A = this chain, B = another copy of it.
Amino acid sequence: MIKVGVVGGTGYTGVELLRLLALHPQASIEVITSRSDAGVRVADIYPSLRQHYPELSFEQPDLNTLRRCDVVFFATPHGVAHGLAGELLDAGLRVIDLSADFRLRDADEWAKWYGQAHGAPALLSEAVYGLPERARKQIQRARLIAVPGCYPTAVQLGLMPLFEKGLIESQGIIADCKSGVSGAGRSAKVGSLFCEAGESMKAYSVGSHRHHPEITQGLSQMAGESVSLTFVPHLTPMIRGIHATLYVTLKETALSLSSADLQAVFESRYQNEAFVDVMPWESCPETRSVRGANLCRIAVHRPAGGKLVIVLAVIDNLVKGASGQGVQNMNIMFGLKETLGLESAGLIP
């Protein structure tokens, strides 16, 4: 039984980890920490978990407490994992970071987007970007995982087959993305209030969202060249879910591909992936079809058979976009069956 620690367990990715691990047959929560809620029982903050963690309480996040774990998840704001990850690795633990701390390869780039110096640049060389469908082998050997962000997961899985095959232009990519409100976290902000975010739609952070460099880094690595991306996130009045609508242009050399060819590119790329579902050609996935599930559903469109290809990709931002993907990484790191604890179907209706 793998002993799991969770640092920063009061946010939405923290509680989602607890929910998923409650059903995991080979992992159990050993420690959960929260600086502000130390001493409080998990069940008092999250009554949904009363049956599963009747006695578990939040502790102070420190090395001594966490030392008894095999692996520690960080479900914290950025900057926190920088401070603790090194110590934990030195103590022989593995670290799975759900925050943005180790996602960008370049410490200066990180500093620019996050407005503070990178707190652990020495660890960057060994940090593995934990997108299992792209980097499964590195994950198997990794001690430190940077779990991809929610938008980056949807966009990268949506475009990976096309880039890996060299079928699309690296310039002029448009990612028009729509996210549920849980992406903004559980902190008390006016913009996340029911009466502010409900019954309304808006774009935000156009051209300046922190996931922009992460997506660009990932796509460039897949493309083998620098890509240029326009990324427009939108706030959508739903709790969970990301819908990525991706507009890309076929290269001249790929224009002769038929619909069946394009569909086959996706199906063959993901045929052995348990957590990516290629839907029928030109279908329209709904975010609710993956609610609570560790799954990315993808459908491909090509209006009028032209050079523009539209990829629709949906995930649950808290599962395949965060905690579920974290557990998937853990399963891979520890040599477990990759789907353990992640078999649930989407909650519909």
Contact = CB atoms under 8 A, between A and B. Distances in A.
B48 A345 contact: yes
Nearest to A52: B345
A181 interface: yes
Interface string A172-209: 10101010111000111110111111111111101100
Contact of A310 (B232, B239, B314): B232
Nearest to A302: B207
Contact of A206 (B237, B287, B303): B303
Contacts of A187: 190
Interface stretch (A129-137, A293-301, A327-335): A293-301
Contacts of A274: 51
Nearest to A312: B203
A270 interface: no
A245 interface: yes
A297 B232 CA distance: 18
19 contacts: A18-B345, A22-B343, A47-B289, A48-B288, A50-B277, A50-B279, A178-B234, A181-B195, A194-B197, A200-B241, A201-B243, A201-B286, A202-B314, A203-B284, A206-B303, A206-B312, A230-B247, A230-B308, A234-B245
A298 to B, nearest CB: 12
Contacts of A282: 206
A274 to B, nearest CB: 8
Contact of A346 (B48, B237, B245): B48
Given A49-B345, A188-B189, 7 more contacts: A50-B277, A51-B345, A52-B345, A181-B195, A188-B193, A198-B238, A203-B245
Contacts of A192: 193-195
- Chain copies in the assembled complex: 4
A47 B203 contact: no
Nearest to A348: B48
Most B-side CB within 10 Å, residue of A201, A240, A293: A201
A19 interface: yes
Contact of A48 (B47, B199, B293, B318): B293
B232 A292 contact: no
Interface of A: 12, 15, 18-19, 22-23, 46-52, 172, 174, 176, 178, 180-182, 186-190, 192-204, 206-207, 230, 232, 234, 236-241, 243, 245, 247, 274, 277, 279, 282, 284-293, 295, 297, 301, 303-304, 308, 310, 312, 314, 318, 343-349
A349 B239 CA distance: 7
A51 B207 CA distance: 28
Contacts of A181: 193-195, 198
Given A195-B181, A234-B178, A348-B15, A201 B48 contact: no
A47 B64 CA distance: 46
Given A23-B343, A201-B287, A297 B47 contact: yes
Contacts of A295: 51
B194 A239 contact: yes
A322 to B, nearest CB: 12
